[in-house]
């Protein structure tokens, strides 16, 4: 599954959560916080997942520390899948 997010419309952490919940069709039960993001990406969605965050530099400028916190979670999920030796993994790229 390829998930594309457009950083031009992600100006805050809440914007990111709204977009990610919509992309995975989990808006009714997603918690809209960093813990919910970890839960969603680490265990709740089927792999493989390629998350592409387009115009990510625009989000970075507007989100500040929240952007870095989200990237830490994305890295944790990616590293967890690698550590587990999964053939189908979570991956992300910033554009």
Residues 6-21: pLDDT tens digits? 999 999 999 999 999 9
Give the number of domains in the chain. Answer: 1
C-beta of residue 6 within 8 angstroms of C-beta of residue 56: no
pLDDT at 56: 98
Please state the pTM of the whole predicted model: 0.94
Q: In which region does residue 92 sit, left (phi positive, over 0), alpha (psi from -120 to 50) or beta (all else)?
A: beta
**Domain CATH code at residue 71:** 3.30.370.10
Q: What is the pLDDT of residues 23-62, one digit of tens each?
A: 999 999 999 999 999 999 999 999 999 999 999 999 999 9
Domain range spanning residue 67?
2-94
Q: What is the pLDDT of residues 63-75, one digit of tens each?
A: 999 999 999 999 9
90 pLDDT band (50/70/90 cuts)?
very high
pLDDT at 40: 97
C-beta of residue 92 within 8 angstroms of C-beta of residue 59: no
């Amino acid at each position: 599954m390829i998930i594309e997010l457009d950083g031009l419309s992600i100006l805050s952490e809440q914007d990111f959560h709204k977009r990610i919940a919509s992309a995975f069709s989990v808006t009714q039960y997603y918690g809209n916080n960093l813990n919910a993001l970890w839960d969603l990406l680490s265990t709740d969605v089927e792999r493989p997942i390629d998350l592409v965050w387009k115009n990510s530099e625009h989000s970075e400028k507007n989100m500040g520390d929240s952007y870095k916190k989200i990237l830490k979670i994305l890295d944790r999920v990616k590293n967890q899948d690698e550590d587990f030796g999964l053939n189908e993994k979570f991956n992300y790229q910033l554009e």
